[in-house]
Amino acid sequence: MKKGKIVLVMLVVGLCTLGAVWAGGSAEKPAATQSQAQPAQSSNAQPIVLRLAETHPADYPTTKGDFKFADLVKERSNGRITIQVYPSSQLGEEKAVIEQVQFGAIDMTRVSISPLSAFVPAFDALQMPYLYRNADHMWKVLKGPIGKQFLTSLEPSGFVGLCWYESGARSFYNSKREVKTPADLKGMKIRVQQAPLMVGMVKAFDAVPTPMDFGEVYSALQTGVVDGAENNWPSYFSTSHYEVAKYFTLDEHTRVPEITIASKISMDKLSKADQDLIKQAAWDSMDYQIDQWAQYEKVAQEKIRANGNVITPVPDNSAWQKAVQPMYDKLSPDLQKIVAEIRAVK
């Protein structure tokens, strides 16, 4: 081969490589060999690798949902699309990860809608305290037209909403004393997710909100930087917060759905067929995650009780509900309308 031809072949190989990376988000290597012997293939046939950030460890039910989602994508694309799940906050804490998803540095993430609401405030309407009658009510909302509308509404903010996951109900826990009524929370320093709504909620209980990353809460509880926090049974257990904050009050003040989102920048690089395949696979992983959640929640609860933690039941939550009522009054008329629609779902 003449020198000029060799340079040309190298150039073509180089361009194909670039093209494939462009086509596949933070995609992987293209097949450089195909430039010579085989006919050119459409960008659809190139391997695509997408990175998904997850804050929880590999055995946590949301992460199991992520793996299920990745398996479905791999299977349905005949191995062409890989979703690499990075558990245990390897790619960063939720707020920073959401920012990176927004500008396309991370392709996907599974997060709580609380930190997401700092970017898309309308999501407050889906996480108001004592909004849902129970988990069934929440799932009717999320799987129905309201939930689907919320997923779609993310696009102008740079995200593509893929699916919802279960996250149980959140309750308060602390290292200081048994909390039986909202008045017992008064003055306590409570860690919250980085979301204005959560800050407002803790203030509504006359406690002192301290927003911080999830990964910092254990040592903050241990060193007394905060007196308490709030979360569901599985997170209280998997983080070992139950070992440093033994008082857990079953006030179940809110159900905050989990969500899987993709970067609009990453998704726009894919064909419409691949986007649809990914969206459907995420949606189809939901029931598996809900089932994993139920199993893990039961085990977490048993282990925490066996550890001797002080678990305080709340048979009548009317005082708790009353404390957060002003938060509803302060919502914008648009969000009040959505809240009314959610409540009307039977």
The contact mask relative to ligand GTR for 272-311 (x = CB under 6 A, - = no) is: ----------------------------------------
Tokens of 323: 């404390």
Q: How many CA atoms lie within 13 A of 38 on its CB side?
A: 9
Q: Is 343 exposed, middle or buried (0-12, 13-18, 19+ CB in 10 A)?
A: middle
Q: How many chain residues bind ligand GTR (CB under 6 A)?
A: 13
- Cβ proximity to ligand GTR, 191 vs 264, nearer residue: 191
The answer to whether residue 167 forms part of the interface with ligand GTR (CB under 6 A) is: yes
Piece of 32-40, 98-106, 108-116, 316-324 that binds ligand GTR (CB under 6 A):
108-116
- Cβ proximity to ligand GTR, 117 vs 167, nearer residue: 167
Distance CA 139, CA 308 (A): 33
The answer to whether residue 166 forms part of the interface with ligand GTR (CB under 6 A) is: no
Is the torsion defined by CA of 113, 160, 140, 55 positive or negative? negative
Piece of 111-119, 142-150, 201-209, 326-334 that binds ligand GTR (CB under 6 A):
111-119
The answer to whether residue 233 forms part of the interface with ligand GTR (CB under 6 A) is: no
Least Å from the CB of residue 112 to ligand GTR: 3
Nearest to 113 by CA among 104, 122, 105: 122
Query: Long-range CB contacts (< 8 A, 24+ apart) of 16-22?
Result: 19/43, 20/46, 20/47, 22/269
The answer to whether residue 210 forms part of the interface with ligand GTR (CB under 6 A) is: no
Piece of 39-47, 109-117, 219-227, 261-269 that binds ligand GTR (CB under 6 A):
109-117
Q: Determine contact, residues 191/137, Cβ cutoff 8 Å.
A: no
The answer to whether residue 55 forms part of the interface with ligand GTR (CB under 6 A) is: yes
- Cβ proximity to ligand GTR, 35 vs 235, nearer residue: 235
Q: Determine contact, residues 227/174, Cβ cutoff 8 Å.
A: yes
- Cβ proximity to ligand GTR, 30 vs 87, nearer residue: 87
Exposure string for 127-146, b = 16+ CB within 10 A, e = fewer: bbbbbbeebebbbbbbeeeb
Q: Determine contact, residues 214/207, Cβ cutoff 8 Å.
A: no
Q: Which residues bind ligand GTR (CB under 6 A)?
A: 55, 62, 94, 111-112, 114, 167, 193, 214, 231-232, 235, 258
